Amino acid sequence: MATIEDIAKKLNISKGTVSKSLNGAADVSETLRKTVLETAVELGYTRRPRKQEAKHLCLFIKNMLYAEPSDFGYDIVIGFRKAAEPAGFLVSVVPLDDAIQTGFTYDAYMLKNNFAGAFFLGLSLSDPWLGQMQTSTTPAVLLDNYVKINPTTCYVGVDNNEGMELAISHLKQLGHRHIGFLSGTLGSYVNHVRHSAFFDALRKYDLPEAHHLAGNAVYVSECLQKHLPSLLQAGVTAIICGHDLLAHAVMVHCQELGLRVPEDISIIGFDDLPICAYTTPALTSIRQDRTQIGKSAFYAVSSLLAGVPISTLLLHTQLIVRQSTAAALPAPKIVQLPPVSGR
Amino acid sequence: MATIEDIAKKLNISKGTVSKSLNGAADVSETLRKTVLETAVELGYTRRPRKQEAKHLCLFIKNMLYAEPSDFGYDIVIGFRKAAEPAGFLVSVVPLDDAIQTGFTYDAYMLKNNFAGAFFLGLSLSDPWLGQMQTSTTPAVLLDNYVKINPTTCYVGVDNNEGMELAISHLKQLGHRHIGFLSGTLGSYVNHVRHSAFFDALRKYDLPEAHHLAGNAVYVSECLQKHLPSLLQAGVTAIICGHDLLAHAVMVHCQELGLRVPEDISIIGFDDLPICAYTTPALTSIRQDRTQIGKSAFYAVSSLLAGVPISTLLLHTQLIVRQSTAAALPAPKIVQLPPVSGR
């Protein structure tokens, strides 16, 4: 393992300057500090924890709301804290802006701030730090992102295949045969996984697959405009959505088009956010238990810290059946679609 | 939650008899005891843990050697104990014979013996208790077996897709294009998974897939006789095996046929058992860290006991490159195969 002396030698500076740089002293320039941190990472330097000092974990959040109980991230953050703090860890929540990611490499940022490990919420496939995870050395647990081979990274999430099978099996029992799927952008790993899981589940339950029955788009409104009309024209009697807010928007839009939910069309969401109980009708949804996701992410990060190279940790899902799903109509109801606007 | 009184009422016997049955008193007949246990499970009765009492876990083993350091199960058992015992759990190792599985349901056996949770090594798809896991209620962690939906079961193992990709990518870099796969019976879940992972990895690395290049059989000798000759005749220059002992047998058999390993044919095993370092040549193998598998199984069972419904926990693999893999010959060496015997 590299020492402060090794770093000093490599950069041809004094041990005192290295030490000051690592410890954030004010009289070291930001440029030198960055060089020292990156050299330390390159040489494999790690801080020796002081006795009695609590280990510090960082919970990075991007592209995700978490301030209110109705937000997706809220219970995840609480679950993580609830597991980490009694085990003697400090947890800092850091909104991950682009400045952080371009200012430092992931490993250098963690070393600089004396964080032992991280839990990431909401990284997209284009985030620079996600690319670095191929070779990073600081334990990182990623919600809904999978990094192969690196033994210090772990993917945490729900068993999307199981969730999708629960939804498809429920719809099949209700007599549905033509089922559509709408979701967010494929620039996110988990949307890819749910998209494949949807088709795998159709095959498993022997239902017709037609690739035009699935659509995805970055924005909810784009999804409604671009994909919902063709699903309805193709005669789907049920739609599964990649997240609850999209499902809610699809439900309202169908109602505006004169379709009754669930009599004319069944709708299923994903996540089981608090809103599901309060939509009209109440939304059937594939539940991810977010408090338990937070807790299991702590299990994962503590395994990585103990050198147990967990790659993947998935939680069971549940289908919460409410009022937005019902028996399929013998034939899909034909709706008069408004002309597509130029937007 | 059901009480002793509920059980007594349901069976129309005294509370004292129920209590004696649950606690294994000698003056209760085995038949009555079984009825009481099964009724207790049916009603959802659970023992209240006595204060200060250590929780007891059961490690069931079937179809797997574990007594010697060279055995596959040895380090897994040690890893599990190493994690469980310091956390205050007692661990009993129970060879799972058919008498146990037919004598009691899984839940009744666990209640009878006051086990809080179990870790299963070596269950096959035809084991009766595996079927019961669809609806069992006592936490169960299964090595290499996946049970959907039941929130009290968890699958633990390695990331077989990652392992297979490491092996295929290594062979591709060495110039191999025609790669075969041999494995044990498809009556085991993990053999199914590795079989699919092999073809997924070929597709991912843009290598030709031919389904006759994969073979599986219950016995090693059967695999050598039934499948190895057709792989060699199809012109493979490398063979990946589903476990190390099979890889070793394949290596020896190829050598008997006059092929040099690795000059004429490359061989890769799976597991990285201690034997790999001592074969001639030493065997390149996909490593499953068995101590860490044992430890992570304890993480999984303690999560289930805490109500965190983990479904799947996979560990990273590594490719340990030794001397049984080398650059591919420009054309496969043709071997004179002995006539197939009638056995």
Out of A295, A307, A314, the one facing B312 most closely (by C-beta) is A314
Out of A158, A165, A310, the one facing B315 most closely (by C-beta) is A310
Query: What pLDDT was estimated at residue B53?
Result: 67
Distance from CA of A13 to the nearest CA of B (A): 38
Query: What pLDDT was estimated at residue B209?
Result: 86
Q: Is the pLDDT of residue B340 over 60?
A: no
Q: Is the pLDDT of residue A343 over 50?
A: no
Residue B156's closest chain A neighbor by CA? A313
Per CB distance under 8 Å, which residues of B are interface residues toward A? Answer: 148-151, 158-159, 162, 165-166, 289, 292, 295-296, 299, 303, 306-316, 318
Query: What pLDDT was estimated at residue B25?
Result: 82
Is there a contact between A149 and B316 if contact means CB atoms under 8 Å apart? yes
C-beta separation of A286 from A317 below 8 A: yes
Chain B residues close to A296, C-beta within 8 Å? 303, 308, 310
Q: What is the mean pLDDT of residues B91-106?
A: 93
| Phi then psi dihedrals of residue B310, to 5 deg | -65, 135
Q: Is the pLDDT of residue A143 over 50?
A: yes
Q: Is the pLDDT of residue A91 over 70?
A: yes
Q: Quick: pLDDT tens for B275-308.
A: 999 999 999 999 999 999 999 999 999 999 989 9
**Banded model confidence at residue A340, pLDDT cuts 50, 70, 90:** low
Query: What pLDDT was estimated at residue B218?
Result: 83
Is there a contact between B166 and A149 if contact means CB atoms under 8 Å apart? yes
Please give the mean pLDDT across all residues of chain A. Answer: 91
Q: How far is CA A35 from CA A31, A135, B226, in A?
A: 6, 19, 61
Query: What pLDDT was estimated at residue A49?
Result: 62
Q: Quick: pLDDT tens for A149-160.
A: 899 999 999 999
Query: What pLDDT was estimated at residue B320?
Result: 98
Please give the mean pLDDT across all residues of chain B. Answer: 91
**Banded model confidence at residue B212, pLDDT cuts 50, 70, 90:** confident
Distance from CA of B149 to the nearest CA of A (A): 6
- In this prediction the pTM is 0.86
Distance from CA of B310 to the nearest CA of A (A): 4
Is there a contact between A303 and B299 if contact means CB atoms under 8 Å apart? yes
Q: Quick: pLDDT tens for B60-79.
A: 999 899 999 989 999 999 99
Distance from CA of B265 to the nearest CA of A (A): 26
Please give the single-letter amino acid code of residue B137: T
More confident residue, B53 or B228: B228
Query: What pLDDT was estimated at residue B52?
Result: 61
Out of B292, B306, B311, the one facing A308 most closely (by C-beta) is B292
More confident residue, A138 or A52: A138
Query: What pLDDT was estimated at residue A342?
Result: 42
Q: Quick: pLDDT tens for B144-189.
A: 999 988 999 999 999 999 999 999 999 999 999 999 999 988 778 9
Q: Quick: pLDDT tens for B76-96.
A: 999 999 999 999 999 999 999
Chain B residues close to A318, C-beta within 8 Å? 151
Distance from CA of B153 to the nearest CA of A (A): 9
% of chain A with per-residue pLDDT over 70: 97
Where on the phi/psi map is residue A23: left (φ > 0), alpha (ψ -120 to 50), or beta? alpha
Q: Is the pLDDT of residue B342 over 50?
A: no
Query: What pLDDT was estimated at residue B121?
Result: 96
